[in-house]
Amino acid sequence: TEADRAVEEEIRARLASERPNDAIVGEELGPTGSGARRWIIDPIDGTINFLRGIPIWALLLALEVDGEMRVGVASAPALGRRWWAARGEGAFADGEAIHVSEVGAVEDALLCYTSGRSFDEYALGEQFRALAARCWSARGFSDFWGHVLVAEGSADVMVEPIVNLWDVAPIQVIVEEAGGRFTDLEGVARADGGNAVSSNGRLHDDVLAALRDPGSGRARA
């Protein structure tokens, strides 16, 4: 949208002024520059919500240094909320430290996801439905929202079968610094894997196994 482009242009202008030697990649305007430091921008994560007047959308910004995500920010102005983290410094929401939940069993977990249709589109429908059936509850909290709910302990797992780097680059830092785990569906801690799972850490391996095999864990359900 025009709003997406306008926001990204403003962020790029500020970065060019303050950090002129840093590289930038954004959803709307692509990559510019090169070097060890790279800023990753999603100007409006949750564009559909933004267009329909639903206040769950955010500016996402991450700093990557030598291939590692070092800083992440998710700012949701319509909600009046902001989450941020820096590597080794912890994760915060609205000035208060946050931490993932202590839930230790999938059967007690609140699972967040994008849309059920998206799992079918990527041949994960059967696996996802089996996982959701095992969980205490499953809610379609898409985009950044499900991930930050995991980071602050309100939800326990968030799964997205398709993402871009800018969708989750800051999320990786925020979730990990909140004590959780963030990987792709193969279990690799990366933001550029094309899909994403955030969890409180305790549930992560069980969730990954369930998404690979719809029968995984069925005997324990």
The predicted-structure confidence for 50-106, as pLDDT tens digits, reads as follows 999 999 999 999 999 999 999 999 999 999 999 999 999 999 999 999 999 999 999
Chain centre distance of CA 61: 12
pLDDT at 116 over 90: no
On the question of a common fold for 2-97 and 106-213, the answer reads no
Predicted confidence (pLDDT) per residue in 7-51, tens digit: 999 999 999 999 999 999 999 999 999 999 999 999 999 999 999
Exposed e or buried b for every residue in 99-116, given b needs 16+ CB within 10 A?
ebbebeebeebbbbbbee
pTM here is 0.94
The topology (CATH level 3) of 2-97 is: Fructose-1,6-Bisphosphatase; Chain A, domain 1 (3.30.540)
Q: In which order are the strands placed within the sheet that holds 68-76?
A: 30-32, 23-26, 37-45, 58-65, 68-76, 81-86, 90-93, 96-97
Q: What CATH number is given for 106-213 in this structure?
A: 3.40.190.80
Domain segments of the chain as ranges:
2-97, 106-213
Residues 84, 91: contact at Cβ < 8 Å?
Answer: yes
| pLDDT recorded at residue 219 | 38
DSSP symbol at 219: G
